[in-house]
Amino acid sequence: MSLSRRTLLRGAGAAMALPFLEAMMPRALAGSKAPALRRLAVLYVPNGVHMQDWRPSAEGGDFALPWILEPLEAHRKAMTIYSGFVAQKAFANGDGPGDHARAAAAFLTGVQPNKRHVQVGVSIDQAIARRIGTETRLSSLAIGIERGALSGNCDSGYPCAYSSNVSWSGASTPCLKEVDPGRVFDSLFRDPMLEGGSELRRTRRSILDLVRGESKSLAKNLSGADRARLEQYEEGVRAIEKRIQKAGDRESHAPDGLERPELERGTAYPERLDQMIELAALALITGSTPVLTFMLANEGSNRSYPNLEIAEGHHSLSHHGKDPLKFDAIRRINRFHSEALARLLDRLAESGEPGGSVLDHTHLLYGSGISDGNRHNHDDLPVLHFSAKGAGHHVLPAARRSAICTWDSPGPWGHRSIPLATPVRSSRCRASRGKLAARRYLETSKPVRATLC
Amino acid sequence: MREGEKLEESLAQLAAQLFRRPVQAREMKPYLKLTRKEDSVELRLRTALTAMLVSPNFLVTGTEPEGYRTAAAMAWFVGRSTPDGVLLAAARDGELDSPAGRARQALRLLRGPRATSLAEDFAQQWLQLGRLSEMVPDPLRFAAFDDGLRAAMRAETLLCFEAVLREQRPVRELLDADWTFVNERLAKHYGFAGVQGEHMRRIAIPADQRTRRGGLLGQAGLLCVTSNPTRTSPVKRGKWILEALLDSAPPPPPPGVGTLEQAGPADAQLSLVERLALHRADAQCAACHDTMDALGLGLENFDAIGRWRDSDGPFAIQATATLPDGRSFSDPAGLRGLLAADGAFVASLARHLAVYALGRPLDRADEYALAELRRRLPADPTLYDLVLGVIEMPAMRTLKAPAQQNQ
């Protein structure tokens, strides 16, 4: 059997061969004439990159891949390298320091995070998930490797929730990323919410009815901020109800031959990264979720990379002060991450489904909310886009300082309706007012120029 | 059926504790209806408990009637749990409406087993010890560091805090003590002789080590979280002292300030002390770094994993410094004494406890209450005094979410 027909899942060090991919396809899609499932994956790396070895030397298609991007040579045809994007809301805008927290928070939301309370906006991947995630087992999945915290001060007074999440389902509700590979596996194949047979599921539904009733009566005596908190709770309850409903009477089970990976204590970062890359590939290949966000490390991560013989922390190094030794360490870390990305792309490209490979049906974004780690600037962000319509080009957006995320994120004042019916302007877009490109994005598979959202 | 009645009683009791208030019979009806289908008592209990634990009445705080809200706040602050039956009864009888009643119940909670959460949760947050699990000291330079040592370091700090709490020692002894908790591993790390065995036990610090160890500033765990993977960071240590111990967190660096520009290969010849002096040459940086660096340099004798050293490579270490206000010290013991005598330490601890108890930043009304609290403290207070003081803050009786700021 040739390598292209196999994918490998490494759990606890042992490689497991997976069966043919047809067996893993979501039942709704297997053998049907329906269009293949479109997927969105966003991979985030912290602390910016060494732009001198990232930015191609020329616009257009005629350049050698810069050093950090060399591992992606095999996928160059699908790749578009963007330069010049700005995350406007990641700048201080009067709020003082905290660029790491803001960089991650604003990347997919386009909203400036609040320093005193956890409050930003719904991220675009979640809006997309709500639209296209109705048929799949999970509407979205957020994974990562560094758990991070939610409360506490992680960057100059900003709550830790900002630097450890890029995906937000509500203004105050991050999509908590799962860092335990066993649990990621569970959410793909073994939803504990669905286990135990129909009796138990009925009981669960009754419990949810009960708590919904209680919430209603409780809400009568509350006002203002308390009510807002209760609404967050109610949203969580609704999400679980939907999950149970969607599963119907399906029993959850993992495809034959797949073993649940266990996270051994003390597993080093490279192994954990490998594990997560495999799980990310699995999530997308099996169509368990159409929307995936993956933080390779939390924003501001100060982990060292002993496998690269780098003993200093990444964040400390990114404050390079123009030291050539630090430059070298940073770019080696960046390249190490690119190699992981290349492995994920390889998996997706190898996996066939009706209509092409999984990669053909995926939009993958890879980037950071910070450009140069020393300056903490948020313009000229490092952004890669992989899709079937990619052309291997280096693109500068039409307008100088085009915003990377320009959609009307439902902010802290409640949900506004998402303007899906409004056509998208594909030329330049203004930083403060943009239209949601989700629908067009999904229907045409065209990367909309200067509107990556 | 007697079994059924007993179950109803148990559930009612459980509900009252979980919901932190008296529960009416009609509220229990849906739970009983839910569990009627189950076969065994155990299953019925499990289903009911599951439902209660996901109920908004359990998860959303601040919705209890007054009086019970105080009970909830106290139980959460001191025990990180829900009020027990005695506390609920005290709320019902109005005991928690008076300062004396609150103090009586608070003392009961402090003496109870759950008060250990003040060490495991509060102290860990206050001293930023949580980061210890993420620290990765360079294995080449610090081969002595491993998970066993890490665990011992963490245990030392938390056990010392708990001892000061439970024995009602003055909080000054957190900073300046002649005892600590070690096991064999940690004792070897510190250079204490004669300690054997893996369990942590309390020892008197040997006389010749008294100037080095004893109190937070000599504890390896804290020295480790305030360092970088490859070297110490006097700036981080100074910042930590200011934030945690002196209630004067330095403001963030002014915008546009980067790190020190490398002057060239000559810099490699400078010691860390001399390189840091460059900070202070620039007036913009000196404003904060004069204090921060001086404090951090006072701990330079402790390397990045808390071992004592007399030199850093070729450079001898002199832990001498003068603070901008003129006070000076010449070794860690001097710095320790200086901080222990400073009223700011008690004030800092009070603020951190208040934030922990309320679970949110302090607003203007809270600041006023905090000032009152500090004024009322006895000289040389214990943790009991501080906890009782925090419980008297008016916000502990209302437990409302802070007003959302307009954007």
Task: Give one DSSP letter per residue of A316-376, joined into a string.
Answer: HHHS-TT-HHHHHHHHHHHHHHHHHHHHHHHHHHH-EETTEETGGGEEEEEE-S-SSTTTT
Question: What residues contact residue B230 under an 8 Å CB cut-off, 6+ apart?
Answer: A311, A312, B137, B138, B141, B304
Per-residue tens of pLDDT for chain B, all 407 residues: 577 788 888 899 999 999 999 998 888 999 988 888 777 888 888 889 999 999 999 988 877 888 899 999 999 999 999 999 999 999 999 999 999 999 999 999 999 999 999 999 999 999 999 889 888 898 889 999 999 999 999 999 999 999 999 999 999 999 999 999 999 999 999 999 999 999 999 999 999 999 899 899 999 999 999 998 888 999 999 999 999 999 888 877 766 555 544 444 455 567 777 777 877 787 777 888 888 999 999 999 999 999 999 988 888 888 888 888 888 998 888 999 999 888 899 999 999 999 999 988 888 999 999 999 999 999 999 999 999 999 999 999 886 655 543 32
For residue A387 the two structure tokens come to 């899709």
Alpha helices in B134-175, H assignment, sequence order: 147-166, 172-175
For residue A159 the two structure tokens come to 């709550």
Q: Which residues of A touch B402 (CB under 8 A)?
A: 117, 225
The whole-number pLDDT of residue A198 equals: 76
The whole-number pLDDT of residue A233 equals: 82
Element (H, E) at B124: helix B124-126
Note the pTM of the prediction, 2 decimals: 0.79
- Residues β-bridged to residue A356: A353
The whole-number pLDDT of residue A370 equals: 94
Please report, for residues A165, A176, A189, the alpha-carbon distance to residue A185 in angstroms, rounded to integers and kept in the order given: 20, 16, 6
Interface membership of B361 toward A (CB under 8 Å): yes
Best B50, B134, B231, B358 residue to mutate vs chain A (most A CBs within 10 Å) = B134
Best A207, A208, A227, A309 residue to mutate vs chain B (most B CBs within 10 Å) = A207
Answer yes or no: are the C-beta atoms of A184 and A279 closer than 8 Å: yes
ipTM of the complex, rounded to two decimals? 0.72
Please give the interface size between A and B, counted as residue pairs whose CB atoms are below 8 Å apart. Answer: 108
Interface membership of B147 toward A (CB under 8 Å): yes
In a 3-state reduction of DSSP, which class is residue B204?
strand
Answer yes or no: are the C-beta atoms of A438 and A381 closer than 8 Å: no
In a 3-state reduction of DSSP, which class is residue B152?
helix
Amino acid at A85: F
Q: Which residues of B touch A152 (CB under 8 A)?
A: 125, 130
For residue A137 the two structure tokens come to 């087992």
Interface membership of A211 toward B (CB under 8 Å): yes
Per-residue DSSP letters for A413-439?
Answer: T-PPPP--SSPPP-S---SS-----HH
- Of A176, A166, A167, A169, which Cα lies nearest the Cα of A370? A166
Quickly count: other Cβ atoms within 10 Å of residue B165's Cβ: 23
- Of B305, B327, B328, B306, which Cα lies nearest the Cα of B318? B328
- Residues β-bridged to residue A367: A44, A383
Q: Which residues of A touch B252 (CB under 8 A)?
A: 96-98, 156-157
Interface membership of A266 toward B (CB under 8 Å): yes
Q: How far apart are CA B301 and CA B310, in angstroms?
A: 6
Give me the residues of A, 361-380, that contact B with CB < 8 A. Answer: 374-375
Q: How far apart are CA B229 and CA A300, in angstroms?
A: 15
Question: What residues contact residue A146 under an 8 Å CB cut-off, 6+ apart?
Answer: A164, A179, A295, A297, A298, A301, A303
Q: How far apart are CA A189 and CA A258, in angstroms?
A: 10
A16 min Cα distance to partner chain B (Å): 30
Alpha helices in A192-223, H assignment, sequence order: 197-219
Q: Is A321's CB within 8 Å of B37's CB? A: no
Per-residue tens of pLDDT for chain A, all 453 residues: 222 222 333 332 233 333 334 434 444 445 555 567 889 999 999 999 999 999 998 888 888 999 999 999 999 989 989 888 888 889 888 888 889 999 999 999 888 999 888 889 889 899 889 888 877 878 899 999 998 877 677 788 888 999 999 999 988 889 999 999 988 988 887 776 667 777 788 888 888 889 888 888 888 877 777 787 788 788 888 878 877 777 666 555 666 667 788 888 778 899 999 999 999 999 998 888 999 999 999 999 988 999 999 988 999 899 888 889 999 999 999 999 999 999 999 999 988 888 888 899 999 999 999 999 888 888 889 999 998 877 778 877 766 556 666 555 544 333 332 222 223 333 333 332 333 343 333 334 333 332 333
> How is residue A449 annotated by DSSP?
T
B279 min Cα distance to partner chain A (Å): 14
Phi/psi for B361 (5° steps) reads: -65, 160
- Of B314, B311, B341, which Cα lies nearest the Cα of B329? B341
Interface membership of A325 toward B (CB under 8 Å): no
A233 vs B60, B136, B261: nearest CB: B60
Give me the residues of A, 58-77, that contact B with CB < 8 A. Answer: none
What spatial distance separates the first Cα and last Cα of chain B, rounded to whole Å?
59
Q: Is A152's CB within 8 Å of B55's CB? A: no
**CA-based nearest residue in chain B for residue A156:** B252
Q: How far apart are CA A428 and CA A445, in angstroms?
A: 18
Answer yes or no: are the C-beta atoms of B389 and B102 closer than 8 Å: no
Interface membership of A319 toward B (CB under 8 Å): yes
| Beta strand pairing call for A168-170 and B311-312 | unpaired
